[in-house]
Structure 1
Amino acid sequence: MNKFLIFFVAIALSCGNNVNKSKDLSENKKDLKTETVQKDMLLGDFSKEELQQKPFSNWFQPAYEDFSPNSEAMATIRENIDDYEIKVLMGTWCGDSKREVPKFLKLLDEANYDYQKLELVAVDRNKTTPNKVEEELEVHRVPTIIFYKDGKEVNRFVEYPQGQSIEEDIAKIVSGKEYKNSYAD
């Protein structure tokens, strides 16, 4: 009888250990899936060069190369953009970001903008970042491009152009003309 009881307890304990191992295995699979998603999505601070690498170059390069900005708006941008520091929050998974950010970076390149004054931040699908910068800046939609002059926020471009094009919107912002994004109060 004692042998039977010991045998039964040993079997019961070993089954319990397998349940925990099974749970650990499923958690590991979940972690692996999250890592895979992260490889296809930038998160936190990043550089333009990262957008020019696979898998992001698949959408970045064609959008960047095919964009020809309006020359009048571009002249206004060239004349004024150096007065601003800029912070861009975007999602590499977001259609609006994929459409507007390559164009915006081409505008900066054509204006010979100093990238030392540009901060690029990628958000996840919940529009969050590891350091919660989106909360501090009250960013709810992407892309959001925030313009600072003398350390103070002047205006922001949010999600899509209000005028005919992104360059017309940016020209209004940097020249100090009245501009409201579609979510401004």
Structure 2
Amino acid sequence: MKKIITNIAVISCLALTAQQVSAQKVVVNREVETTNDGKMLLGNQLKDQFLKAPYADWFVKEHDEYTVDQKAVGELKKAKINTYNLVVFMGTWCEDSHRDFPRLMKILEELKFPDGKLTIIAVNRKKESPTGEESRYNIQKVPTIIVEKYGKEIGRIIEMPTSGYIERDLVEILKKDDKSVIKEIFK
């Protein structure tokens, strides 16, 4: 009986150890110091991180000065954008990210977009993140804003919106999604 209890204890310990080893910890709000770029964010980030120095210098100015297209925001609300997930790849060293990332955050505030449906991943100059998510999404340029539904990519905005407005490009992505759903129904 003692041997059985010992074996159960050993197996339980091994199972627990295996579970802990396989569980990947995601470090959030990682900041690194670089020779050429100074401080840089890397990996998964929370939006509050951009309100801290030195990122607040560019983030707050662009965020506060941007005027959101209210008509497009209304269309995004009608299209239920809050039911989608957004994955954003950006670089704190990148001028396009300095412009469009704060604008996106302001748009999402207007939409009351749920924080739990937003993933922000900061990359280095080689477009790499600590977890390698950039390969899964085939990231070539930043910022890249990816719209997903049920784990499937619906569309993306790469580097800069084609219409000149992120919210208008998001409307176009959601319109295409509606059409694809209708096509699937009538196949």
TM-score range, shorter chain: 0.7 to 0.9
TM-score computed with the length of structure 1 as normaliser: 0.74
The TM-score, its normalising length taken from structure 2, stands at 0.73
Determine the C-alpha separation between the residues in 2 that align with 1:76 and 1:49: 27
Q: Which runs of structure 2 are paired with 1:24-173 in the superposition (5 Å)?
A: 35-37=33-35, 40-79=39-78, 80-173=80-173
- Name segments (4+ residues, structure 1) moved above 6 Å: none
The residue that corresponds to 1:17 in the other structure is none
Cα deviation per residue 1:122-170 (whole Å; 9 max; x = unaligned)? 0001111111111111001000111111221110111011113122111
3-state SS of paired residue (1:40): strand
> Is the CA contact 2:33–2:40 (under 8 Å) kept in the aligned structure 1?
no
Q: CA deviation at 1:81?
A: 1.0
Distance in 2 (alpha carbons) for counterparts of 1:110 and 1:85 = 16
Contact 2:33 2:39 in 1 (8 A): no
Residue 61 of structure 1 deviates from its aligned partner by: 0.2
Q: How many residues align?
A: 145
- Contact 2:122 2:129 (C-alpha < 8 Å) held by counterparts: yes
Query: Which secondary structure state, in structure 1, belongs to the residue aligned with residue 33 of structure 2?
Result: helix
Larger Rg over CA atoms = 1
Q: Distance in 2 between matches of 1:85 and 1:173?
A: 13
Between the aligned partners of 2:59 and 2:140, the Cα distance in structure 1 is 23
Residue pair 2:40, 2:93 contacting (<8 A) in 1 also: yes
Structure with bigger strand share is 2
Query: Given residue 161 of structure 2, which amino acid in structure 1 is its aligned partner?
Result: P
Question: Identity percentage over the alignment?
Answer: 34
Cα distance in 1, alignment partners of residues 177 and 64 from structure 2: 29
Alpha-carbon distance in 2 for matches of 1:115, 1:164: 25
Question: Over aligned residues, Cα RMSD in angstroms?
Answer: 1.8
Question: For the Cα contact (< 8 Å) 1:44–1:123, is it kept in 2?
Answer: yes
Contact 2:147 2:154 in 1 (8 A): yes
Unpaired runs of 5+ residues, structure 1, are 1-33, 179-185
Say if 1:177 and 1:117 are closer, same or farther in 2 by CA, change over 3 A: closer
Aligned equivalent of 2:4: none
* SS class of match (1:35): strand
CA contact (8 A) 1:77 1:175 kept: no
Q: Distance in 2 between matches of 1:166 and 1:36?
A: 30
Question: For structure 2, which runs of at least 5 residues remain unmatched after alignment?
Answer: 1-31, 179-187
